[in-house]
Amino acid sequence: MDLSYSAEDIAFGEEVRSFLAEALPTYISDAVRSGGELTKPMMEEWHAILNKRGWLATIWPKEFGGTGWSPVQKHIFEEECCRAYAPRIVPFGLSMLGPVLQVFGSKEQQDHYLPRILDGTDWWCQGYSEPGAGSDLASLKTRAVHEGDEWVINGQKTWTTLGQFADWIFCLCRTDPEAKQQAGISFILVDMKTPGIEVRPIKLIEGGHEVNEVFFTDVRVPYENLVGEENKGWTIAKFLLSHERTGIAGVGFSMQALEEVKALARKVRRGGKSLMEDPLFAARIAQVEIDLEAMKITNLRMLFKAQEQGAPGPETSLLKIKGTVINQELKDLARRALGPAATPFPGHITDGNLMFGPADTAHNAARYFNNRKTSIFGGSNEIQRNIVTKTMLEL
């Protein structure tokens, strides 16, 4: 048992810091800090910068162009990126489809798609949820029929994050309606430019546009866009979801949020003193800071375990349950610290109507509302509890 960083790890941290100081454009980190929506070119630019440095695919094996980093290195990198307000890397190609293709894809699929994920040619989105299939994902109805050398797809996907920017979508489709629910599903890759696809925006609680509905009407794609075996897509779906949960503790983002809350509480005045001197508020901060301190170690312990086992295990569900709640608590504290100064609607924030502090602080109410999503997406926290019940408690 040894929590200290090795000399190599410390040197690596310094290398990451100096890289970020040099390579991360200020206009991008400012946009992240201010909490508004990032533009597509911003996200693409950061993706390309990381790819050029070879630090993009942190969870891929080296043979596919990944970094081959140790758990500690991944942790250091994530922490430093958050500290520098680097954008979150869009995960759909890198963290979700990439690992799927590496395990289930054909050699041709690997050779074709993986380099295009790295160089940013293809922006991927995720076609999982449907209006009638959320937590009960296996009840999905989007139908793919094998006709000649094509799939003909009809149906609807929803909650498609950043689908408005995507070139491709990976879809779970029902390919055998007679089979038992999980048995008749296939994993199919679809070019978003294919005729019959329509993307409609969903406006979220805080007014932002990050998710969409995607409609499929007689969409025809080549049969070889199938990944793995026909009707065996559920195995892939589960594999992908377990990868989706790595890094889902969001420890780096919560550390960033904690620093912001502390800075706010020191600036905000209440009753002639700083809010930090209010024992009730300070106690709320202290309690969540302690939870986060524990979560940092829990996250590292699970990363190590994942490395030893070669794949993330069901413990990642525990990370998701606790990590999202910690993050939500921090967003709530930031909103409460601001009090009425959190009032302006994001679209109406101007220097003239700000009651307090720099413009970025005014976004805290929006961030609080937006972040309620984290305990719902990626398998709701209730679904995570079901997973742990089955796999770890064996009830």
Which residues are known catalytic residues?
A: 244
Q: How near is the Cβ of 276 to another protein at its closest, in Å?
A: 5
Q: Is the dihedral of CA 287, 293, 296, 299 positive or negative?
A: negative
**Quick one: 172 or 306, whose CB is closer to another protein?**
306
Q: Is 217 in the site for another protein (CB under 8 A)?
A: no
Q: Which of 293, 343, 345, 353 binds another protein (CB under 8 A)?
A: 293
27, burial (CB in 10 Å: exposed 0-12, middle 13-18, buried 19+): exposed
Establish if 301 lies at the interface with another protein (CB under 8 A): yes
Number of residues that bind another protein (CB under 8 A): 43
Asked if 150 interacts with another protein (CB under 8 A), we say no
Residues 114, 98: contact at Cβ < 8 Å? yes
Query: In the range 67-126, which residues lie near another protein by CB under 8 A?
Result: 72
37 DSSP assignment: P
Quick check: 391 binds another protein (CB under 8 A)?
Answer: no
Strand partners, 273: 270
**Side-chain-side CA neighbours of residue 65 (13 Å):** 20
Among 11, 179, 205, 297, binds another protein (CB under 8 A): 297
Distance of CA 127 to the CA centre of its chain: 15
Q: Is 298 in the site for another protein (CB under 8 A)?
A: yes
255: contact with another protein by CB under 8 A: no
Say how many C-beta atoms besides its own lie within 10 A of residue 364's C-beta.
24
- Name the one range near another protein by CB under 8 A: 28-36, 218-226, 363-371, 379-387: 379-387
Euclidean distance between CA atoms 19 and 272, whole angstroms:
42
Nearest alpha-carbon partner for 105 in 166, 150, 170, 163? 170
Instruction: Please give the structure tokens belonging to residue 200.
Output: 């409609």
Q: Which of residues 260-279 bind another protein (CB under 8 A)?
A: 262, 276-277, 279
Per CB under 8 A, 283 contacts another protein: yes
Q: How far is the CB of 59 from another protein (least distance, A)?
A: 18
3-state secondary structure of 213: strand
Does residue 50 contact residue 278 with C-beta atoms inside 8 Å?
Answer: no
In angstroms, give the least distance from the CB of 288 to another protein.
11
Q: Considering only residues 2 through 61, tell me which ones interact with another protein, judged by CB under 8 A.
A: 2-6, 9
The whole-angstrom separation of Cα 280 and Cα 283 is: 5
And the tokens for 311? Answer: 């794949």
Segment interacting with another protein (CB under 8 A) among 97-105, 212-220, 292-300, 350-358: 292-300
Q: Does 287 bind another protein (CB under 8 A)?
A: yes
x/- mask, another protein, residues 312-331, rule CB under 8 A, reads ---x--x--xx---------
Q: Report in angstroms the alpha-carbon separations of 170 from 128, 259, 311.
A: 8, 37, 21
Residues that bind another protein (CB under 8 A): 1-6, 9, 72, 262, 276-277, 279, 282-283, 285-287, 289-291, 293-298, 300-301, 304, 315, 318, 321-322, 382, 384-386, 388-389, 392-395
